[in-house]
Structure 1
Amino acid sequence: MTDTLCPVSLTQDLVRCPSITPEEGGALQLLQSVLEGAGFTCIRVDRNGTPNLFARWGARGHPRSLGFNGHTDVVPLGNPDDWTRAPFGGESDAGRIWGRGACDMKSGVAAFVAAAVDFVRTTPPDGAVILTITGDEEGPSQDGTVALLDWMAPRGEAMSACIVGEPTCPNTMGEMIKIGRRGSMTAHVVARGRQGHAAYPHKAANPLPVLVHYLDRLARHDLDRGTDHFDPSTLALTTIDVGNPASNVIPAQGRATLNIRFNDLHTSASLSDWLRDVARDVCAGTDVTLDLEFHISGESFLTPPGPLSDLVAQAVTDECGVVPVLSTSGGTSDARFIKDHCPVVEFGLVGTSLHQVDEYAEIDQIHQLKAVYGRILQAYFA
């Protein structure tokens, strides 16, 4: 009888790797050793100092190539003194594995690695199983999953469908699958005027009233009321900065930053045009200019409900005993890159503790997640 790979022990081993972005911390080396021992072909696809791992069992270019995607990098600890458990201890206690990355998302990686290893050992499929694991999801995300997909394309390496193992469940294991994500963009605004004495405002060009008027226009505007699969788009003002220490000086400039999470009624280009149009309108007739700079984290996308989401939902229901909601809520994930490569959905643990002090994952849920992924593999290659 073939021994099975324990996802809980693997989670603990991964948590003990101090892989704060962009440090590899030994996590990908550990996974490569495990996967090569199970017959996977493994290649490190590092780019610009970012560590990434590609692993494949089966023939390259097979038309049935199911992929899993995840990351081993973690966010910083914050104040280490606030932790009551060793952040990289991987301690098992009270039915939980404790440590940075236990929830987001070393347990998810451990679960799909364990499921894939057991599957190819016991039920070698007519097809390929591909794992793409990055060390740059919590960071800039420019040389992580993007680098893996860039490397795969000219080599004929392709996934025909992909599961991202990010935590997706708000409160109960199995309650939610992500079939898309809202887009995300940040706008940096600089209002430029002319400095002057507060007693002689007519001799200055105060940028602050124009900046405030601009931000008020944006904050009061309803971008939309949502769509069939998406919540309404949101605009949040995140900072307003002047840095003026003198109460009797009109400053020459003020700055602000805002973030927009948008659904499939918009694109980053259409929203950028709208922000510029409003800026021109509020600056008309003044001596103030508004300069805008944009950072696009990702466009909105949707994998329409269909064969892939049905297959994953059935596996979740069979294992967890609940019918999952198909959702597009939450922030961004690396699925925003994979959607240009193949159909993609996300399913993972309950994300209650992600990015928190004393982060943890429930041991029972880690076992459940491996079982769900195992059912997905069996059904996909049936």
Structure 2
Amino acid sequence: MNETPIIIEERTAAGGHRIGVATLNAPRSLNALTLPMIERLRPQLEAWAEDPGIACVVLMGAGEKAFCAGGDVVSMYHAIRENPGGPVPFAERFFEQEYRLDYAIHTFPKPILVWGHGVVMGGGLGLLVGASHRVVTEHAKVAMPEITIGLYPDVAGTWFLNRMPGRIGLFLGLTGARMNAADTLYTGLADYLITADRRDAVLSALADIAWEDDPELNRGHLSVALRRFADASRAARPASNVLRHLDLIDHVTDHHSVRGILDALEGYAGEDDWVDAARATLAAGSPTSARVILEQYRRGRHLSLKEVFMRELNMSVRCVRGHDYPEGVRALLVDKDRNPRWDPPSVEAVSDELVESFFLPAEGLEENPLRDL
């Protein structure tokens, strides 16, 4: 396997055009997004955007297990331990550059296809959700489980959770509930379900498209091609857990506090593995994260995409300089004892002042680095 963090290819297509293909190349870590990956991919996207010969871009992951399991939080953890409670230049640069990459995908001027196979979580979902054409396979495992490490659904979670039907986004953000391929279609995170064994055929079909110089027409050409493969994959669509539990989600999120939502989940009388996992994640997650996520959702409804990334950068810096984020990463991914010592230790102990601090400029971010987006 090529050792470079991103494999860059250009494939010849009909009519003299080319297709840019970028592959996240760290299958052993489930293609966890590293700073070198980010710093290689964003300039390449910018170059392809400016190249009139590039008609379409494809982003996918190496290996059979994952598109991208999230950001490289272990490296951030080690950087944080060098200056606990204070500025952490590496971690803060990581978040800034990651959000710039996500924004570039959201605003890319040409059709961009992301192939969401296998695990698509956290930072991986940030790459997927902004693309013009978002494909998931029947093996997709999608979630924003940041509450388990003392973070919150970032990478534009403020944006896409608020755009899901009803209050589904709030439920998913608080519980980190895992979505299957059908769930991503229903919630608007993906556009097409295409079986994994058709990936090479899809790439071959893209090379046969009579691409034009108009990006808008090319978006249509790509949509028509992908729909053909999606129609052939209908039999692989699983039942949607989100849709099946919509009534429960509505009733639980009628409560306007984390404690009320958690109590409502605790009182759920059914025997259901999906709900049990969601309940357990919220109950065991960072109490501070839970309260911040609820406030993130409430305050984010009317923000522009740029405002979302600016706010999330500030929130992430607050997490980096706080207690629960490094402690959550330690417990889940470093020491792996799965026994985080949250501080404050309960939802009731989290003060309104602490929650409010996540929405105020962190020291050094009075002039937000993303204000130029």
Higher gyration radius (CA): 1
Q: Same fold (TM over 0.5)?
A: no
Structure with greater strand share of residues: 1
TM-score, scaled relative to structure 2: 0.27
TM-score, scaled relative to structure 1: 0.27
Structure with greater helix share of residues: 2
